[in-house]
C-alpha cells in the first residue's frame, strides 16, 4: 500500500484539486484508493459531494482512537473517502498525548487493508496535522504552479522535509507535479526547467494544464471526470495517474527543453 501526502504550504497551487482528481483517476485505472481529508477546511470532503457540516471522519480517528473503517465512505467505484470531520480543527490545540500525537495517523493506517493507494490531502500549515501526514507517508507529492513564488515555496518545503528526515532517520520519496501549467508562457517553462535542475528524477512527466473546469468541478461535488470528462484536465490527471503507477518522470537535457522518460 503506497501512502502519499499531497502537501504544499503555499496556497493556490492545486493541492486539493490534485488529491481529488488523482484519487479518482487512480480508481479508474483499477487501483483501490483511500483519500483522506486532513485539512480542517474540508475542501476535499466537499469536492466529493459530502456535507461538511455534519460529517465525522479523521477527527474521530485522531482524537478518539476510532478505526478508519468506522468513518470511511464509499464515494466512487474503488474509491473511499475519510472525511475531515467537524472537530478536526481542534487537533492543533490539543496538548495531551505528547510526541505520540504525531504518529496517530500512521497507527490508524497500519490497520487498513485492501488498498493500493492512500492519498492524504494536507493542511497548508506544518503543525501537528502536517506532522501526522509526514510520519504516516513514505512518499510526498508536491503540486507546484508555474511561477517563481511557487519555486521559492518548494525550496522551503524541501528544507523542512530534509530536517524531519534527519531528525527521524527516515527517508521520504518526494515527487513534484506541475500544476496550473501554461506551456506557451516563458515563465512557466523557466520555472519547470529550474525545478528539473534542482530535483532531477523527481518531477512527474505530466504537467496539469490550467483549465476553468478544474476550478469549477468541486463546487458541484464532482471530480473532473464527472464534470467535464473530455477536458484537458481529465486527460492530464489520467496521465498523471499512469506517471505515478509506472514511475514516469521528466528528464532535462542541458541546453534543451525538458523531455519525458
Q: What is the pLDDT of residues 23-69, one digit of tens each?
A: 999 999 999 999 999 999 999 999 999 988 888 999 999 999 999 99
Which residue bears the cell 506557451?
184
Q: Which residues contact 176 (CB under 8 A, 6 or more apart)?
A: 141, 142, 143, 144, 154, 195, 199, 202, 203, 204
Written as nine digits, the cell of 48 is 466529493
Written as nine digits, the cell of 189 is 517553462
- How long a stretch of residues is the chain? 261
Q: Return d(Cα 51, Cα 62) in angstroms, integer.
A: 20
253 in the Ramachandran plot: left (φ > 0), alpha (ψ -120 to 50) or beta?
beta
Q: Return d(Cα 258, Cα 189) in angstroms, integer.
A: 9
Q: Which residues contact 121 (CB under 8 A, 6 or more apart)?
A: 6, 15, 16, 19, 20, 35, 36, 37, 38, 39, 43, 44
Q: Where are the domains of the chain?
A: 2-260
Alpha helices per DSSP H over the chain:
15-28, 43-47, 58-64, 68-71, 104-109, 128-136, 148-168, 186-198, 212-216, 224-227, 232-246
**What is the chain's pLDDT, residue by residue, as a tens digit (261 residues)?**
999 999 987 777 889 999 999 999 999 999 999 999 999 999 999 999 998 888 899 999 999 999 999 999 999 999 999 999 999 988 887 766 566 788 999 999 999 999 999 999 999 877 889 889 988 998 999 999 877 777 777 777 787 777 777 777 778 889 999 998 887 788 878 888 888 888 889 999 999 999 999 999 999 999 999 999 999 999 999 999 999 999 999 886 555 555 555
Q: Return d(Cα 65, Cα 73) in angstroms, integer.
A: 18
| Strand partners for 118 | 3, 34
If you classify domain 2-260 with CATH, what class do you get? alpha beta
Contact 233, 214 (CB under 8 A): yes
Amino acid at each position: 500500500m503506497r501512502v502519499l501526502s499531497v502537501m504544499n504550504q503555499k496556497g493556490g497551487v492545486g493541492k486539493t484539486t490534485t488529491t481529488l482528481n488523482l484519487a479518482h483517476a487512480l480508481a479508474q485505472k483499477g487501483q483501490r484508493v483511500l483519500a483522506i481529508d486532513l485539512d480542517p477546511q474540508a475542501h476535499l470532503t466537499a469536492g466529493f459531494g459530502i456535507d461538511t457540516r455534519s460529517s465525522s471522519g479523521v477527527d474521530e480517528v485522531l482524537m478518539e482512537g476510532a478505526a478508519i473503517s468506522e468513518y470511511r465512505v464509499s464515494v466512487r467505484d474503488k474509491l473511499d473517502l475519510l472525511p475531515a470531520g467537524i472537530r478536526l480543527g481542534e487537533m492543533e490545540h490539543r496538548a495531551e498525548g505528547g510526541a505520540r500525537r504525531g504518529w496517530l495517523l500512521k497507527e490508524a493506517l497500519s490497520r487498513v487493508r485492501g488498498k493500493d493507494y492512500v492519498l492524504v490531502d494536507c493542511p497548508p500549515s506544518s503543525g501537528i496535522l502536517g506532522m501526522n501526514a509526514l510520519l504516516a507517508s513514505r512518499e510526498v507529492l508536491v503540486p507546484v504552479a508555474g511561477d517563481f513564488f511557487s519555486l521559492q515555496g518548494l525550496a522551503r518545503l524541501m528544507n523542512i522535509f530534509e530536517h524531519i528526515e534527519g531528525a527521524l532517520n527516515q527517508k521520504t520519496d518526494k515527487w513534484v507535479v506541475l500544476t496550473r501549467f501554461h506551456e506557451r508562457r516563458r515563465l512557466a517553462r523557466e520555472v519547470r526547467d529550474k525545478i528539473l535542475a534542482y530535483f532531477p528524477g523527481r518531477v512527474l512527466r505530466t504537467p496539469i494544464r490550467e483549465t476553468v473546469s478544474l476550478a469549477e468541478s468541486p463546487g458541484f461535488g464532482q471530480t473532473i471526470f464527472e464534470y467535464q470528462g473530455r477536458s484537458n484536465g481529465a486527460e492530464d490527471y489520467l496521465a498523471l495517474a499512469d506517471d505515478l503507477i509506472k514511475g514516469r518522470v521528466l528528464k532535462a537535457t542541458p541546453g534543451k527543453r525538458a523531455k519525458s522518460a
